[in-house]
Structure 1
Amino acid sequence: MYLAKQFGANWFTTVMGIGIVAALTYSSPFRFPCQHAIGIVVFWGLNALFVVATPLWASRWLLYPKEALEDFRHPERVLFYGALAMGINVVGNDWFIVGRHVFHPSLAVDVSKAVWVVGAIVAVLTAVIVPYLLFTEHQVSTKDTLASWLIPVVPPIVAAATGSNLIPYWGGVQVQFAVTAVILAMFGMTFFLFIMVSSLVYARLVYHQRLGGAVVPSLWVEIGPIGMSMATLATLATKIHAILPQYSHLLEGLAAVASMALWGVGIWWIAIAAMHTLFHLRKRGEGIPFNMGWWSYVFPIGSFTSGTYALGHLLRYDFFVIAGFVQLLILWGCFAIVLARTVSGVVNGSLLQWKPPADAFLQKEHANPQHARG
């Protein structure tokens, strides 16, 4: 199980990326040939990956607890526990969006609800524990500030956005109101943390030297919570008529105005991140070496696309339907490149080593000579 030793929470960025591509492809309001078939195929791939990834990650805790605990002492590796939380929520959301058309609808909804509860709990724990460790244990400086600091605080708003679809399926009005209250609380938790962390990121971009090519993909993380904020507000506005009828029209207007304003902020971040990316692809830049951080080109773009979809459903104007389709095409382009590079890295051993290095085996034999002779 040497493979499990290397399998940290960062690998759930692949679950996030594949999952959001499946849901957005299947549910695209701009219809195109085979979209449902493609979405279902990617949905099956997501479930296969999740079934493999979860035991591998759990095995790391059972077989290599020292290495697993060491992640919490590392200010960069610990961030990816947010990817674990978001990966769980994405799987649950895909069972609602796609799974209802593959399995019996009530079964798919029950699975989605169960997974959402687990994902919401993990999301809140991540948003509390990781910042606490940053405040009390980790040693960082302002120049270390990256948009990847958002990864552990974004999960509650991902849970809020995905949970909004499930509101009508939670029994009576009292239960639906409780779920809505929890969703709004999680939205508030992440939204204001997003503003604070983004302020730090902006300051780092202003006062320190430009980002290096290896970390420039992290800038794309910024559009993730923007998209999920849009999705939460716009979806809630269409789901609470039975719970808060006296506020439904007010919330629809607020959601429309706020989401369109956030859409503008997202476009600005996309422009800034794209220019950084293009700079490092030119001769003056450093290049962008491939690593798992490249999945920042997938899930955040997908999150922003989901927000555009939700805004289109709320306002019912072709502008956001067409914008959402353009974003989906860009998402698929990024997804194809990153997935191909990831599969290649796994196969050739540059991302995951399939067996221990020979020198490590020799060192083990040298440290246990009697065992080696026996």
Structure 2
Amino acid sequence: MQGGQPLAALSNPKEAIRQFTPNWFAATMGTGILALALGQLPGNIAVLTQLGKALWLFNIVLFTIFTAMYAARWVLFFNEAKQIFGHSTVSMFFGTIPMGLATVINGLVQYGLPAWGDLVISWAHALWWIDVAMALACGVLIPFMMFTRQQHSIDQMTAVWLLPVVAAEVAAASGGVIAPHLSDASAQFNMLITSYVLWAYSVPVALSILVILVLRLALHKLPHENMAASSWLSLGPIGTGALGMLVVGSDAPTIFAAHGMASIGAVAAGIGMIAGIMFWGLGLWWMLLAILITVRYVKTGIPFNLGWWGFTFPLGVYAVTTLKLGAMLELVLFDVLGILFVVMLTVMWLVVAGKTTAGAYRGNLFVSPCIAALNAKQAGR
């Protein structure tokens, strides 16, 4: 391979589209959550907020490019693109598309609203319903394909199973961010209730997968080093579940009161706070375990692949949750830990983004396991 030439690993530039998979959208998740976290650090440091906004704008460009490339793959290489439905690993990454979009939507509220005014809320509202539709579809259709046409076994299981399921609770947390900014009380109420449904649609299923994952790790030990980053994915649904309860719960008193249910709103706020704290504690266990597992992998060497983006979003959403708890509880401990987690996230993002940029430039990251599996199947006939 001639590393100094762009796309040197590909026979032609069009091959990048042919080999494009949803795994790339994990980069928009990691980039988006760092952008949001930088703007939520204690003290509202202007330079970090501006840096976060710039990163959010860059993430919009990334998401747009990836969407165009993946859409082009379905148009130009339909037969190969549809192979993803039968692939036991790559199909899971469908969930990264709505989750990547959610970071863009949240940024509209966090960065777009102060800069461009209330018009962006209409955009966020519309995009959120699109995100919800995709999350609902991923959450049930991918498991259905797991049950009917894909080959799985406990010893080959990883936390990647969580990706299609978690998209709904990410949308729920986004609903909690957007709802207070809607001008119509009925729209606020619809979004609040939908967010609770999305949370319930996702979190219990994710927790059940985590139970199976613990059993799998105890019986079959750690997965192959190619899946090293998957150890962090377990932190994602826990952190997002906590964040969802916190933000939706904080909206509940006002929105329920506007519909004559003030007492329910007060209870919902209390449940949100307690659930958020308890989920944060569970997340701490998983994070410490993920750190120990990662240290073990590092000793033997971890080959780089797009799965490394799994190091970023789960840590990022846990960091944002920690900062949210610090702001709501006014406890310095959470502020300090939140800052520490954002620093860790920043370092990891720089490493992964650098390696991804280099791999994309050379072209060696544009590899579709679905095509490889199809070619092997055809060769075996």
**1:291 maps onto 2:305 in alignment:** yes
Equivalences for 1:125-164 in 2 at 5 Å? Answer: 125-164=137-176
Distance 2:89 2:366 in 1: 19
Question: Deviation string for 1:170-224 (max 9, x for gaps)?
Answer: 3433332221111001101111111111011101001113322211210101111
What is the aligned partner in structure 2 of residue 369 from structure 1? Answer: none
Ranges in structure 2 where 5+ consecutive residues have no aligned partner: 1-13, 257-261, 368-381
Bigger shift: residues 221-230 or 174-183: 174-183
Equivalence for 1:97: 110
Contact preservation (8 Å) 2:139, 2:166: yes
Which residue identity is paired with 2:102?
Answer: N
Q: Which moved more, 1:30-39 or 1:109-118?
A: 30-39
Counterpart of 2:370 in structure 1 is none
Listed one character per residue, the Cα deviations across residues 69-105 of structure 1 (whole Å, up to 9, x for unaligned) are: 0001101110000001111111111111112233x22
Partner residue, 1:338: 352
Please report how far the alpha carbon of residue 33 of structure 1 lies from its aligned counterpart in structure 2 after TM superposition.
5.6
The answer to whether the Cα contact below 8 Å between 2:250 and 2:272 also exists between their aligned partners in 1 is: no
1:109-147 CA-to-partner distances (Å, cap 9, x unmatched) read 122112111111100000010000001111111111111
1:329 aligns with 2:346: no
TM-score, normalised by the number of residues in structure 2? 0.88
Map of 1:248 onto structure 2: 265
Instruction: Report what 2:278 is aligned to.
Output: 261
Deviations 1:23-58 (A, max 9, x none): 111222344461122112211211111221111110
Aligned-partner residue type, residue 352 of structure 2: V
Name the residue aligned to 1:365: none
- Aligned partners of 1:352, 1:73: CA distance in 2, in Å? 19
Could you tell me which amino acid in structure 2 is paired with residue 227 of structure 1? G
1:258 alignment partner AA: A
Supply the distance in 1 between the matched residues of 2:267 and 2:252 (Cα, whole angstroms).
Answer: 11
- Distance (Å, rounded) in 1 between the aligned partners of 2:297 and 2:264: 48
Q: CA RMSD in A?
A: 1.5
Give the Cα–Cα distance (whole angstroms) in 1 for the partners of residues 335 and 161 of structure 2. Answer: 31
Query: Residue 225 of structure 1: CA displacement?
Result: 0.9
Q: How many residues align?
A: 349
Q: Does 1:314 align with 2:314?
A: no
Aligned AA for 1:82?
G
Answering whether residue 134 of structure 2 is matched by residue 122 of structure 1, we say: yes
Contact 2:121–2:182 (CA<8 Å) still a contact in 1? no
Q: Residue 309 of structure 1: CA displacement?
A: 2.3
> Which residue matches 1:58?
71
Distance in 1, matches of 2:200 and 2:307, equals 27
**1:12 and 2:29 correspond:** no
Cα distance in 2 for partners of 1:257, 1:239 equals 15
Aligned to 2:207: 195
Greater relative contact order: 1 or 2 (C-alpha under 8 angstroms, separation 6 or more)? Answer: 2
Pick aligned residue for 2:48 from 14, 31, 35: 35
Cα distance in 2 for partners of 1:350, 1:2 equals 11
Q: Name the structure 1 match of 2:84.
A: 71
Structure 2 distance, partners of 1:270, 1:300, is: 9
- The one-letter code matched in structure 1 to 2:347 is G
User: Is 1:169 the counterpart of 2:193 in the alignment?
Assistant: no
Q: What is the aligned counterpart of 1:281 among 285, 295, 298?
A: 298
Please report how far the alpha carbon of residue 59 of structure 1 lies from its aligned counterpart in structure 2 after TM superposition: 0.3
In 1, the alpha carbon distance for the partners of 2:90 and 2:166 equals 16
Distance 1:248 1:147, change over 3 A: same
**Compared CA separation, residues 248 and 317, structure 1 to 2 (3 A):** farther
Whether contact under 8 Å (1:82, 1:151) holds in the other structure is: yes
For the pair 1:85 / 2:102, whether they are aligned, the reply is no
CA distance in 2, matches of 1:163, 1:243: 13
Partner of 2:378: none
Question: Does structure 1 retain, via aligned residues, the 8 Å contact 2:95–2:135?
Answer: yes
CA contact (8 A) 2:22 2:70 kept: yes
Amino acid at match of 1:84: I
The CA distance in 2 between the partners of 1:302 and 1:113, in whole Å, is: 23
Deviation at 1:333, TM superposition (A): 0.9
d(CA) in 1 for partners of 2:264, 2:42: 27
